[in-house]
Structure 1
C-alpha cells in the first residue's frame, strides 16, 4: 500500500501500473482506493494527479468509511444471525445432524446442517466457508442463465462466464470474450445481477462506455438506470464483515 497525505491525514491506496493505460485514473470500492497509471508515469506525475483530485479523494474516502460502518457484521454463525442475500437480510438456522459435511439450503432463510462432532473452535470458520461456497455456486448458476437468455435473444455469446473474488470491480469482459463477475453480486437483487451480466455482454460489441454502449444496454434492459442506481447506493450490503466476539 502507498500513502497519500492530506493535511494531517494519511490515506492508504493501491498504485497500479499498466502498459495498456494511456492516462491516470482513480477507482474505488467499499474496501479500497486505487490509482491506475501508465507504466512510465513518474513520481511527480503521480503526485500531480493526486493533488488535482485531493478534494474528490477525501470526499470519496469519507463516503467509503461511512459505507463500511454500515456493512453487516456477523459475530457468530449461529441460529438467529442474519446475512444479506439477494437484496435483503436472511436469517440463519443452524441444526446439528449426523452427516460429515456442512450442508446449506435456502427457503425463507438459510438452513445450515452441521455435523454433530464439528469442533466448537472451528465451527464458525467451517460454516462460513460452506455458506460462501454455496453463494458462489448460486451466483454462477444465475449469471449463466442470464447470459444464455440474452445471448439467445441478441446474438451476443460470451466465451464463458467466470465468478471471481474481484476487489476493484463488479465485472469485466476480456478481449477473449470471457466475462468475469464479482461473486458479491449474489447479495444484490437478481435484477441487479442481470444488469451486471448485460453490462459486460454489451462490451462484446462496444469496448468502451460511449453513448452507443449505453444505447445497447438500454435496448436490452430499459430500466438499467434503476438497477445501476441500486448497486451504487447499496454497495455496503454486498457482503459481511466477520467480527470476533468480545470475550
Structure 2
C-alpha cells in the first residue's frame, strides 16, 4: 500500500484507476483513504494531486482518528457497561435467569436476563447478538410510527421499509419506492431519526436534493437543519463497537 508522508505524519492510501472517473477524487473514512483517478492519469499528476491536498488529508485523517477514539466501546457485556441508545449512553444490567434464551428489556437502562446455563466463554457474544436484535426491532417500530405520523398524511407512502446494516449511508430510497434505513440510527435521538426517515420519504416525490425537495422536508420538519447538523457532527457516536480488552 502506498504511503503519503507529510512531515512526521504517514498516511497509507489505496490508489484505484477508474475508466468511469472523469476527475480525481479522494475519500477519507474511518477505515481507509482511497484515491480514485481516471485510468489515463500519470504518476506525476497523482503526485501533484496528493501534494496539493496534503494539508487537507492530514486534517481529515486526524479528525477521523479523533472520531474513532470518541466512539463508544464495550469491552464486556456485563453489568455497568454503557451502550448508546437514542442519543444517550445507557447502563447495562445483567441478571441470571433460569430460562433458555437471553432476554432484553429496557427500564431506564438495559436489563439483560442471561441463562445460568450459558458458558462464560459464550456469554458476551450471545448478549451482544440479543441486544442487536432488540435494537433493530425497536428501530423498526420507531420508523413505522414516523411513517404513519409524517408519511401517510403527506401522501408519502413507501412500498416497503427495510432496516439494513449500511456502511456509509444513513438511508436510501430506490425507484422501487423501498425505503432503506441504517439500523445504527437507533443510537441517535428520536428527533434525529425522525429527520432521517422524513428525508427518505421525501425522496418518494423528489429524487434529487433540489429546492423542491428541501422545501418539502421543511414543510414537514421546520427545524430539519439542526437535526441534519447533529447527524453530521455525531456520526462517530452512532455505533455499538465491541473491543477486546488489553490483557
TM-score (norm 2): 0.86
Structure 2 residue ranges without an equivalent (≥5) = none
Aligned match of 2:57: 57
- Give the whole-Å Cα distance in 1 for the aligned partners of 2:111 and 2:15: 39
- After superposition, give the CA deviation of every residue in 1:48-84 in whole Å (9 maximum; x if it has no partner): 7656544433322211110110111211111111111
Q: Which moved more, 1:50-59 or 1:71-80?
A: 50-59
Matched residue SS, 1:67: helix
- Give the whole-Å Cα distance in 2 for the aligned partners of 1:23 and 1:162: 34
Q: Which moved more, 1:42-51 or 1:158-167?
A: 42-51
- Give the whole-Å Cα distance in 2 for the aligned partners of 1:16 and 1:106: 49
Aligned length: 243
- Over 3 Å counting, the alpha-carbon distance change for 1:159 and 1:54 in structure 2 is farther
- After superposition, give the CA deviation of every residue in 1:144-189 in whole Å (9 maximum; x if it has no partner): 2212322211111122111111111111111212111111110000
Aligned match of 1:145: 145
Aligned match of 1:245: 245
Aligned match of 1:72: 72
- Give the whole-Å Cα distance in 2 for the aligned partners of 1:220 and 1:33: 37
Matched, 1:9 2:7: no
Matched residue SS, 1:105: strand
- Give the whole-Å Cα distance in 2 for the aligned partners of 1:35 and 1:141: 40
- Over 3 Å counting, the alpha-carbon distance change for 1:135 and 1:6 in structure 2 is same
Q: Which moved more, 1:172-181 or 1:108-117?
A: 172-181
Q: Which moved more, 1:10-19 or 1:98-107?
A: 10-19
Contact 1:135 1:186 in 2 (8 A): yes
Matched residue SS, 1:219: helix
Matched residue SS, 1:80: coil
- Over 3 Å counting, the alpha-carbon distance change for 1:17 and 1:214 in structure 2 is farther
Aligned match of 2:86: 86
Aligned-pair CA distance for 1:16: 9.5
Aligned match of 1:188: 188
Aligned-pair CA distance for 1:202: 1.4
TM-score (norm 1): 0.86
Whose radius of gyration is greater, 1 or 2? 2
Aligned match of 1:177: 177
- Give the whole-Å Cα distance in 1 for the aligned partners of 2:16 and 2:161: 28
Contact 1:18 1:36 in 2 (8 A): no
Contact 2:158 2:201 in 1 (8 A): yes
1:87-236 maps to which residues of 2 (within 5 A)? 87-236=87-236
- Over 3 Å counting, the alpha-carbon distance change for 1:134 and 1:14 in structure 2 is farther
Structure 1 residue ranges without an equivalent (≥5) = none
- Over 3 Å counting, the alpha-carbon distance change for 1:245 and 1:64 in structure 2 is same
- Give the whole-Å Cα distance in 1 for the aligned partners of 2:94 and 2:68: 27
- Over 3 Å counting, the alpha-carbon distance change for 1:236 and 1:180 in structure 2 is same
